[in-house]
A and B are shown apart, each in its own frame.
Chain A
Amino acid sequence: GAGVSQTPSNKVTEKGKYVELRCDPISGHTALYWYRQSLGQGPEFLIYFQGTGAADDSGLPNDRFFAVRPEGSVSTLKIQRTERGDSAVYLCASSLVITDTQYFGPGTRLTVL
């Protein structure tokens, strides 16, 4: 079946611009997670959703980062006023319920020039 998909696969933007990264989870999965991965490091948790609500956003680095999941399926991670330090691979994962195995998408590579 279809796995987690993320679009775009690559995004290049200029410092100060706004970007949106999209995640399509596996159908029927209620939990959705966003992670960020810098070069040579393991993924770092940002936020997770249980249904439509953000159950834990403690990993968001600052208020420039925001994520939504309005219908409990697709999620969008939004970054305002991008900075060069935001450059990373942004990973999305979903699971049937929060205690279940997480399935990851291929990630979106964000480059801020």
Chain B
Amino acid sequence: DAKTTQPNSMESNEEEPVHLPCNHSTISGTDYIHWYRQLPSQGPEYVIHGLTSNVNNRMASLAIAEDRKSSTLILHRATLRDAAVYYCILRDDDYGQNFVFGPGTRLSVLP
């Protein structure tokens, strides 16, 4: 699986939007971009995923660059509950199998 690069940590104020970047310059054509997050003392939870087009769901939006070498996870209004480690992961979903997690971005949300 291709590697991703994320900032170690970010801070946001409550009720403001948050943009979490991810670089994946070696992404292959069949790699999907997956985002998971891990709240303290919990297992990772699915946030969103996409291939080429931008994606929206009830939790977040995923903006994918046209060349697919980077993407951004957007939380539209951060809440204290959004404080977590966010992982950006690539996986060839034609084959599936395990995820390869990096260290992720630790997001702090300030009241």
A residues apposed to B, CB below 8 Å: 4, 31, 33, 35, 40-45, 48, 55-56, 59, 91, 93, 95, 97-107
A45 and B100 within 8 A (CB): yes
Q: Which residue of A lies closest to B34 (CB)?
A: A101
Tell me the smallest distance from the CB of B47 to a CB of chain A, in Å. 10
A45-B49 contact, Cβ under 8 Å, with A106-B42, A107-B43: no
> Interface of chain B, helix or strand or loop or mixed?
loop
The winner among B46, B94, B95, B97 for most chain A CB atoms within 10 A is B97
Q: What residues of chain B lie closer than 8 Å to A33, measured between beta carbons?
A: 98
A-B contact pairs, 23 of them (CB 8 A): A31-B96, A33-B98, A35-B98, A41-B103, A42-B85, A42-B101, A42-B103, A42-B104, A43-B101, A45-B98, A45-B99, A55-B97, A59-B98, A97-B96, A99-B93, A99-B94, A99-B95, A100-B96, A101-B46, A101-B49, A103-B45, A103-B46, A107-B43
Closest 10 CB pairs of A and B: A104-B43, A42-B101, A99-B96, A98-B96, A45-B98, A43-B101, A101-B46, A104-B44, A99-B93, A91-B43
C-alpha spacing A110/B45, complex, angstroms: 21
The winner among B41, B95, B102 for most chain A CB atoms within 10 A is B41
Q: What residues of chain B lie closer than 8 Å to A103, measured between beta carbons?
A: 45-46
**For the side of the interface on B, what is the size category?**
20 to 34
B87 and A42 within 8 A (CB): yes
Report which of A42, A55, A95, A102 forms a contact with B102, defined as CB distance below 8 A. Answer: A42
Tell me the smallest distance from the CB of B3 to a CB of chain A, in Å. 12
- CB under 8 Å from chain A, chain B span 57-99: 85, 87, 93-99
Q: What residues of chain A lie closer than 8 Å to B44, measured between beta carbons?
A: 43, 91, 93, 104
Q: Which residue of A lies closest to B85 (CB)?
A: A42
Report which of B97, B100, B101 forms a contact with A98, defined as CB distance below 8 A. Answer: B97
